[in-house]
Chain A
Amino acid sequence: MRSILTVAVTLALGGVARAQDLSWHDSLESAKKSGKPIFLFRMLGDLKGKT
């Protein structure tokens, strides 16, 4: 039983972490201040929440 629960919890956490384990700026202006090239993802919905 313990192994089944462990797998279920791992899968649930893994799903949420997929987009959030990258570091996203809150705004384009914030990204510009980094001095790096910018990857701007325009998407329908919320990157970290339900889209």
Chain B
Amino acid sequence: MRTVTFRDGQVKAALRDFALAWTNIAGDKTCGESFRHEPGEAAGELLRGNGEHNMQVLLLTPRGEIAHILAGYCGPKDMLDELALAKRAVAMTSERLAALHAEKARELDPGAPTADMGWCGRHWRHRAHEYMSTHALQPVADYRAEDLVGRGRSFFGAKRQ
């Protein structure tokens, strides 16, 4: 994410509408393992949703309530779409927000991968909307990653040859 998505000029411009914060989840009971990377190391090829246990983006209202959520890797083009959705989502009531995410979940049949989005991306996009349909405006302090990505732990690594 940091060497591809956060480097993209359009993503950086869109992120100006947000306050950016990050947290290291090492030690979290759902966090898996990964290769170690230098900050400027060239990124390996990743698909949407890769590394869902090791990275998530929570898009919050200014009060710290979850309006949208992303599990795993999200490339620049997808991130622009998700940020646009998040800008709308943070202004919604919990009822309207839940309905929006339920509709998005229905649109994303997880059993039907497409050429532009394989099983992994479709599954985690679907799962995120499904989660939000029942956790709209959840206080971030109550968020438990295992409720989104499951209790399993995994290794995920990508290396450029």
> Which A positions have Cβ atoms within 8 angstroms of B?
11-12, 14-16, 18-28, 30-32, 34-51
Contact = CB atoms under 8 A, between A and B. Distances in A.
Interface in B1-28: 1-3, 6-7, 12, 15, 17-26
B39 A49 contact: yes
Nearest to B63: A32
Interface in B22-40: 22-26, 31-32, 34, 36-40
Nearest to A14: B40
Contacts of A47: 2, 22, 24
A39 B18 contact: yes
Given A19-B6, A37-B59, A37-B87, A50 B39 contact: yes
Contacts of A18: 2-3, 6-7, 39-40
B64 A38 contact: yes
Interface of B: 1-3, 6-7, 12, 15, 17-26, 31-32, 34, 36-41, 54-64, 67, 83, 86-87, 90, 140, 145
A44 B31 contact: yes
Nearest to B38: A50
Nearest to B35: A51
B25 A39 contact: no
